[in-house]
Chain A
């Protein structure tokens, strides 16, 4: 799956609210989507803003069999960090923060 496929799947997941968040101790600070500080629409905007050069995939830090997708778009002069993966056809967001 390439950058554009992953991006479309994440956008679809955000549109249909078929996503979740990975548990983390600093969820309120590092996952602003979970903390309701940003909306799914805003994250969709971030994903559209992202170019292929600002995307990378890497192994999950705890479970290396799974691939994480990292987007680092710039919006209004600010660099954002969006990290997610797919499990059981659902998108799981680990990070959404500046």
Chain B
């Protein structure tokens, strides 16, 4: 595969100077003008006359593709009570994963569960309207996810009566708490563990053995 490197010289027709110019390859944030997407760290052929981008080598294509793909991903932003943000941290702790890398994976995992499981969606709705979902919304949650995933999850949420993204997230986090921290769904706990492991978490922990609950001593 042919590769150019920073500093290499080439020739191109500069669309700004409107002539054949000598160029040098430089690393720049390249802007796709019509779509307003920035491609950071792109190797581009820069015109020696006007210092603007004149051409782009083939090897930069994956970066352009990634930047365009990122734009296609939608973002979800909502505010949630502090105790629900704590759920995320407790779950990251459970899987021995750094919270920053675990959080997006956790939320996308539960969005997928919501989008694909009508029964789970009913449960999320009930949890979103429970007393545990209430509280001053002080913590801000922000997530980028594929457009299709977000729209499917929102559509499912809307059908079961969840009105907002914040309500959806509250319900999802309470479901996650029940599934993992309270040991309510061992299958989902293991699947989430597998996903967390891919993000660098420790091996998924086996669910606690089910048995008769002991009476507390006091």
Pick from A20, A29, A34, A60: contact of B64, CB below 8 A. Answer: A34
A86 to chain B, nearest CB (A): 11
B53 at the binding interface (Cβ < 8 Å): yes
B97 to chain A, nearest CB (A): 31
B56 at the binding interface (Cβ < 8 Å): yes
A58 at the binding interface (Cβ < 8 Å): no
Find the A residue at minimum CB distance from B17.
Answer: A62
Q: Which B positions have Cβ atoms within 8 angstroms of A?
A: 1-2, 10-15, 18-20, 32-35, 37, 44-45, 52-59, 61-62, 64-65, 68
Question: Which residues of chain A are near B56, meaning CB under 8 Å?
Answer: 20-21, 23, 27, 34
A42 to chain B, nearest CB (A): 13
Cβ–Cβ contact B33 & A25, under 8 A: yes
Question: Which residues of chain B are near A19, meaning CB under 8 Å?
Answer: 58
Question: Which residues of chain A are near B14, meaning CB under 8 Å?
Answer: 23
Cβ–Cβ contact B55 & A63, under 8 A: no
A39 to chain B, nearest CB (A): 10
Cβ–Cβ contact A88 & B1, under 8 A: no
- Complex Cα–Cα for A37 and B15 (A): 23
Known interface pairs A63-B20, A65-B20, A87-B11. Does A36 touch B2 (Cβ–Cβ under 8 Å)?
no
Cβ–Cβ contact B13 & A34, under 8 A: no
Question: Which residues of chain B are near A88, meaning CB under 8 Å?
Answer: 10-11
Find the B residue at minimum CB distance from A27.
Answer: B32
Question: Which residues of chain A are near B10, meaning CB under 8 Å?
Answer: 88, 90
B183 to chain A, nearest CB (A): 44
Pick from B20, B55, B64: contact of A35, CB below 8 A. Answer: B64
Cβ–Cβ contact B58 & A17, under 8 A: yes
A47 to chain B, nearest CB (A): 16
Can you pick out 28 interface pairs between chain A and chain B where the beta carbons lie within 8 Å of each other? A17-B59, A18-B58, A19-B58, A20-B45, A20-B56, A20-B57, A21-B55, A21-B56, A22-B12, A22-B55, A23-B53, A23-B56, A25-B33, A26-B34, A27-B64, A28-B34, A36-B65, A40-B58, A60-B13, A62-B19, A63-B19, A66-B13, A85-B13, A87-B12, A88-B10, A88-B11, A90-B10, A92-B13
- Complex Cα–Cα for A27 and B34 (A): 8
Question: Which residues of chain B are near A4, meaning CB under 8 Å?
Answer: none
Question: Which residues of chain A are near B45, meaning CB under 8 Å?
Answer: 20
Cβ–Cβ contact A18 & B2, under 8 A: yes
B21 to chain A, nearest CB (A): 10
- Complex Cα–Cα for A22 and B56 (A): 6
Pick from A20, A28, A85: contact of B58, CB below 8 A. Answer: A20
A24 at the binding interface (Cβ < 8 Å): yes
B29 to chain A, nearest CB (A): 14
A26 to chain B, nearest CB (A): 4
Known interface pairs A28-B35, A29-B35, A36-B68. Does A23 touch B55 (Cβ–Cβ under 8 Å)?
yes
- Complex Cα–Cα for A35 and B56 (A): 11
